[in-house]
Amino acid sequence: MKENTTTIFYFPLGTPYFPKTDLRLERAKWTNIEDLNGIDKLYKFLEIHMGRDDGYYGYYPVYSRPICNGRLLNIRQIGFIDSQDSIRSIKTFGDLRQHMDYYIVANSFKSPKFRRAVNVHSLTNIVVDIDVHHARGGIKGCRDVIMQRLDALLYLIFVKKPIGLPCPNTVVHTGRGIQLWWTIKPLSAKKLKYIYKGIQEYLFTALEKEINSADPELKEYVLLDISASKKMSGLFRLPGTWNTRSKTYGDFWILHDNKLDAAKLYFALHPATGKPYIKYKKKKKQGNPVFRKNNYGNHIDNMIRSLIELRRSAGEMEDGYRDLYCLIVLSAYLSNDTPEDEAWNRVVALNNSFKNPLPEKELHSYMSTAMRKKYRYRNETIIGYLGIDDEEQKALGFYPANVHYYEERQKARERGQKRRKMKEKRDIKIIELFAKGVLQEKIAELVGCAQSTVSKILKAAGITKKKTGIKKAVTILCQKAKKKCKKEVRSEEKLKRLAAEDPEFAKTMERLAELKESRKKYERTKAEFTQEPDQEFLLMGEEEFQYVIQNNCEEYNHSHATKL
């Protein structure tokens, strides 16, 4: 190349190619925030993810699946972790290094007894469960190789080459997969659930995209268990415990202890539109209200007040029932988790509505046991205590619990029987039309159903072919007719036997026969009057009318008929 000359290099159009990171050569180097090992690291995990210092405490149920004689038993609850003192709670479980599975929930509950989504108190953690399936080919080795690649990919995403996703607080190796735990600033499970689910969807989508684009083999053997991760009351393996499937202990790394502000991240992903937020309200269904637990206190209070007004209008006094009225209303409010101050104010207001109210001091003394015990009376007990008769029950709409249940069951049973009879008639009609050679499309049109329904009914009856199907249909109809005749004969024989044994029954049957005969006669007469005449009769004139009056009716009829 000559001096003082410029050489220009021309590259083909297109973007330069940067090769992807080879996950086979990468290794994850997770580091804990503190030098902790064993049970101390588990204490730190519980302190970060389940500890609360803001006064809003909850319960985290803990479950296990023990082994007896080499066989796994059903999963069962062994206790709970109190967010007020999580370390003291976990110490009550004893040795957690035993060879059995331990599980824990991610969110706190109102009560440690009932693990249902409706009982979730506050949302405190987001967990993404990533399952690693066993490799049957394509990768040298087994699940450990896939785990190493997945672990390396997650390390690149969150630590080495972050892509903007919030870093999880804890990375858990369960033995058959990896769990990512984010601790968030507590959200109300009742009002802010949409924020929690929005952040979940954001993390699921981003991680699934990265895993699918990183390595085709990871895409084949790694799966995000989205359905399990979305459950607010779902169970997750307790970090560091035994896994009976992989026969190994799990491991985990605590990366940091900062809480994720889920609400701030959600509104950053969903910017404000400038329009006011209008909460959607469902339309109330017409009909009798269903008094669930959330308005049970108001329901009993309103019922008692209506009962008092009803009895006052009838001229009855409330003497003897005044104290019971107050006791039942207070118990209803307290059993509904109503604050004691509010429940007490409602009872005082009810007491003051009487002509001779109790002094507040005596009322408090009388209600002290109920405030401590929080009774919940059944409808039958309230009816018995207050002496509510049938007329008052009907006026108030307040019945024993099993009355409505029996009536609804009876109505449902009758509806089911009616529906079955209609289906049987429809099926017989379809088979009759098929036996006459009518096509399925025409049968569907005549009966009023879809052609697929006609085909399904014919197949269920064993009619599959056109040639042999007509013969089969005729056989089925004959069998149905024989059964019907036998049933009628049996019923007639039974009626005759009852009539011979019971004279009263015989008189009743005779009366029914007379009523049937009179009904038939009425129907025949009605049909004759409503029948259209075959001939058109003309109105007679004045001369004809005078002629008929002079007792010549028969002659007139004969001559008039010949004219027509």
**What tokens were used for 542?**
């004045």
* Helix/strand/coil for 475: helix
Q: What is the largest CA-CA distance in the chain?
A: 152
Tokens 């049938």 map to which residue? 390
Please say whether the beta carbons of 431 and 477 come within 8 A: yes
Beta strands in 25-100 (DSSP E): 59-65, 67-68, 71-72, 76-82
For residue 371, what is the enclosing H or E element?
A: helix 360-373
Partners of residue 82 on adjacent β-strands: 59
Residue 470: CB atoms within 10 Å: 15
Q: Quick one: pLDDT at residue 278?
A: 58
* Helix/strand/coil for 165: coil
CA distances from 57 to 51, 122, 190, 191 (A): 9, 9, 16, 17
Quote the CA–CA distance of 258 and 519 in Å, as a whole number.
87
* Helix/strand/coil for 362: helix
Quote the CA–CA distance of 335 and 373 in Å, as a whole number.
9
Which residues have C-beta within 8 Å of that of residue 115, sequence separation ≥ 6?
61, 77, 105, 109, 233
Quote the CA–CA distance of 454 and 444 in Å, as a whole number.
6
pTM of structure = 0.48
pLDDT along the chain (564 residues), means of 10: 50 43 70 79 89 80 86 86 84 82 91 84 92 62 78 87 88 91 91 91 90 77 87 91 88 91 87 59 52 69 88 76 88 85 90 87 86 83 86 82 67 87 88 86 87 88 77 81 77 77 79 83 77 50 60 54 46
Q: How many residues are there in the chain?
A: 564
For 141, how many CA atoms within 13 A lie in the half-sphere containing its CB?
Answer: 10
Which residues have C-beta within 8 Å of that of residue 199, sequence separation ≥ 6?
126, 184, 262, 265, 266
Partners of residue 127 on adjacent β-strands: 181
CA distances from 375 to 70, 126, 155, 365, 368 (A): 45, 38, 55, 16, 12
Within the chain, how many helices (H) and strands (E) appear? 20, 14
Quote the CA–CA distance of 556 and 560 in Å, as a whole number.
6
Tell which residue, 224, 185, 216, has the closest CA to residue 20.
216
Tokens 């909460």 map to which residue? 279
Long-range contacts of 330-334 (CB under 8 A, 24+ apart): 330/367, 330/370, 330/371, 331/370, 331/374, 331/375, 331/376, 331/377, 332/296, 332/297, 332/299, 332/300, 332/301, 332/376, 332/377, 333/297, 333/301, 334/370, 334/371, 334/374, 334/375
Burial of 240: CB neighbours in 10 Å, binned 0-12, 13-18, 19+: buried
* Helix/strand/coil for 79: strand
Amino acid at 266: Y
Q: Where are the domains of the chain?
A: 39-269, 293-399, 403-509
